[in-house]
Amino acid sequence: MREFDYVRADSLDHAAAQAGPHAALIAGGTNLLDLMKLQVMVPERVIDISRLDGLDTIEADGPGLRIGAMVRNADLAADPRIRADYPVLARALLAGASGQIRNKASTGGNLLQRTRCPYFYDTAMACNKRAPGSGCAAEGGASRMLAILGTSKDCRAAHPSDMAVALRALEARVAIRAPNGTERILEMDQLYRLPGDRPDLETELDEGDIITAVLLPAPALGSSQSYRKIRDRASYAFALVSVAAVVTMQDDRIGKASLAFGGLAPRPWKDAQVDAMLAGQAPSEALFSKAADTLLAEAVSDAGNEFKRHLAHRAMIAVLREATGLAPASTGTDLVGEPA
């Protein structure tokens, strides 16, 4: 690991004032330190925000919730309000990493964890994300963990978070504090940039910006929520494909469906067209299949990740079957209490 100065922030102002082009915030440290050991990330100053007051609470926010950026993944998954009203989020968190890591990992750090692309991790390889302009060694290489949607010729890295996929399906927003103390709130698709020709620029955060919270809207009462993660081993592995769904039925039709996907794209993926195709329709195998075709219409894959098209297609249909009642719910699908 390269040498660095350690600063324990005593306020958000202090943390922001210490920011700079060669500084990094540290929250749980489970991603940053992993990458620092490999010299994939080489900050000269590490700013510890893990002890800041007020960042580790989950509070009512109108009809929704405000989740502080330092709330640990384990605590978020265990919170009774999350388990009852936002079960897809609890499920996604519990499907990620291990008990030990979830005790450390924070909400903000989870959102901003870096890709698991093997070429990003290997400093001897070309990678436009790690070393802008050096090229992309993934071309023709090991693509099993790489994205098939939203990629560019310069980068095919996938976003690895499970939590973020559930948050995308729940239509959560992210609160960001600028160095001058003002707060702005971004939709998740505004937070994450697509790679284009600058895969090194992953988010809309500017220097000194700090994520302070994730905002959940009012619970989707009466919805069926589901998180399905498919991976190379039964536990403690990143997603090859994952699907998060929040589906509300109106009589025998789909009132609203909000789907998001992991393992497929450089950010938690949502396709508004897919949600729109499902809304107002009677659930059927044919409808689901057509919507899955739409999801994958623009997919770009190679021999190493071609399987993701089929996996995503089937996973989406399987999740929708359970969420709409065409098939009995299995573990991972939960109901949110009916409106009174």
Partner 1 sequence: MPISLKVNGVERTLECDTRVSLLDALRDHLDLPGTKKGCDHGQCGACTILVNGRRINSCLTLAVMHEGDEITTIEGLGGPEDLSPMQRDFVSCDGYQCGYCTPGQIMSATGMLAEARDGMPSHVSESLIGKANLSDAEIAERMSGNLCRCSAYPFIREAIARNTEQSQ
Query: Is 34 one of the binding residues for ligand FAD (CB under 6 A)?
Result: yes
Binding partner at 113 among ligand FAD, partner 1, none, C-beta below 5 to 8 Å by kind: ligand FAD
- Is there a contact between 269 and 162 (Cβ–Cβ < 8 Å)? no
Query: Is 123 one of the binding residues for partner 1 (CB under 8 A)?
Result: no
Give the HSE-up count for residue 204: Cα atoms under 13 Å, Cβ half-sphere.
16
Q: How far is the CB of 26 from partner 1 (least distance, A)?
A: 7
316-335 positions binding partner 1, by CB under 8 A: 331, 334
Query: Is 75 one of the binding residues for ligand FAD (CB under 6 A)?
Result: no
Please give the Cα distance from 183 to 122 (Å, whole number).
36
Rank residues 110 and 324 by Cβ distance to ligand FAD and give the closer one. 110
Alpha helices in the chain (DSSP H): 12-17, 32-37, 73-78, 80-85, 87-94, 99-104, 107-111, 118-121, 163-169, 188-191, 272-278, 285-296, 307-324
Please give the Cα distance from 213 to 191 (Å, whole number).
13
Stretch that binds ligand FAD, among 96-104, 183-191, 218-226, 288-296 (CB under 6 A): 96-104
Residue whose C-alpha is closest to residue 274's, from 284, 288, 286, 264: 288
Q: Which position among 113, 224, 258, 333 is part of the footprint of ligand FAD (CB under 6 A)?
A: 113
Query: Is 96 one of the binding residues for ligand FAD (CB under 6 A)?
Result: yes
- Between 59 and 98, how does the x/- string for binding to partner 1 read (CB under 8 A)? ---------------x--xx----xx--x--xx--xx-xx
Q: Which position among 17, 24, 101, 194 is part of the footprint of partner 1 (CB under 8 A)?
A: 101
- Between 246 and 285, how does the x/- string for binding to partner 1 read (CB under 8 A)? ----------------------------------------
Q: How far is the CB of 103 from ligand FAD (least distance, A)?
A: 10
DSSP 289-304: HHHHHHHHTT----TT
Please give the Cα distance from 139 to 293 (Å, whole number).
25
Question: Which token pair is 99?
Answer: 């008990």
Rank residues 100 and 284 by Cβ distance to partner 1 and give the closer one. 100
Which secondary structure element, helix H or strand E, spans residue 329, and what is its range? none
Coarse DSSP helix, strand, coil percentages of the chain, rounded to the nearest 5 percent: 30, 25, 50
Binding partner at 331 among partner 1, ligand FAD, none, C-beta below 5 to 8 Å by kind: partner 1
Query: Is 210 one of the binding residues for ligand FAD (CB under 6 A)?
Result: yes
CA 337 to chain centre: 25
Residues forming contacts to partner 1 in the complex (CB under 8 A) are 1, 3-6, 8, 26, 28-30, 33-34, 37, 46, 48, 50, 74, 77-78, 83-84, 87, 90-91, 94-95, 97-101, 103-104, 234-236, 331, 334
